[in-house]
Amino acid sequence: MNRVEVLLSAYNGESYIQAQLNSLSGQGHGGWSLRVRDDGSSDATAAIVERYRTSESHDIVLEKGENIGVIPSFFELIRQADETADYFCFCDQDDVWLPDKMERAAGRLSDVKAGVPAMVFTSTQLADADLNPLGQWPERPQREPAFYNALVQNIAVGATVTFNRAALQLIREHMPQTDKVLMHDWWLYLCVSAFGEAIYDPQPSILYRQHGGNAVGGEVSALGKLKKKWGSFRKHRGAHKLVAQAREFHRLYGGQLGDSEKLRQLEAFIAPRTTPGQRAAYLRSSKLYRQSALENRLFRLLILSGYI
């Protein structure tokens, strides 16, 4: 049986983490282990994990770390992960996994050629704080997951992501400066789509609990989706974060892209565009895309205006 290691970063999660741990015990795939990094919690999170560790037959490792934030914490888990495992799952503390999550992901990844970095991600079943269903999110991507999408948009919800050992090794080969990374799942999508296979499964794999304290949340209403997309663009404007992340990728992996269209598109995206003419010329040759016509129009407007 393929072995799956679950990578869970926790912080002050005492209200919900027990339900998440219980959902791991309910997985149909029995060959799993759990690695938890407590990111400096001040509540009973670590104690709950410790009780779970002593009551479970699976291999469970708990590290009590300093508070460094969600992105560095997940990269610490990547650094510490057991590379003898076959597959790895990102895990959030406040969700509930559906019973076939690991089994389905392992099945999809087993079809990938050995040595090719690969990841599987799914949609989610949004739920309120009491796990009452709210709707499915996000919508099915209109275009295939690809590097040209990953440079400007993340469609991989981290809590649904499972990746193989080759993907782990790819990330470990060049660990990024975490202040240049927008999110750990986005960085994985960017790297894997450049050198391997990013696979989308439309069937939800988790109950994605929305409780007001989520680091990242979903949205189902049309107005809410529009506000969320605009808010995402505004958030990523600071220090041109989209470009900063792409530059970090270029610094670490640009030399491995060879003489390819991916490298040309990456270098065009990170190049300065100081005049309206340069920005218009860039858009005429760019292959980068977001997943809907509205998002693409908004992206083009922000390029033309010098916002990105």
User: Each residue of 60-71: pLDDT tens digit?
Assistant: 999 999 999 999
| DSSP SS3 for 160 | helix
pLDDT above 70: residue 226: no
CATH numeric code, 4-220: 3.90.550.10
Q: Where in the chain is the domain with CATH 3.90.550.10?
A: 4-220
What is the distance between the alpha carbons of residues 137 and 134, in angstroms, rounded to a whole number? 9
- pLDDT, mean of residues 148-173: 98
pLDDT at 231: 59
Cis peptide before 138 (omega within 30 of 0): yes
What is the pLDDT at residue 239?
37
Share of the chain above pLDDT 90, in %: 88
DSSP 168-209: HHHHHHTPPPGGG-S-HHHHHHHHHHHHSEEEEE-S--EEEE
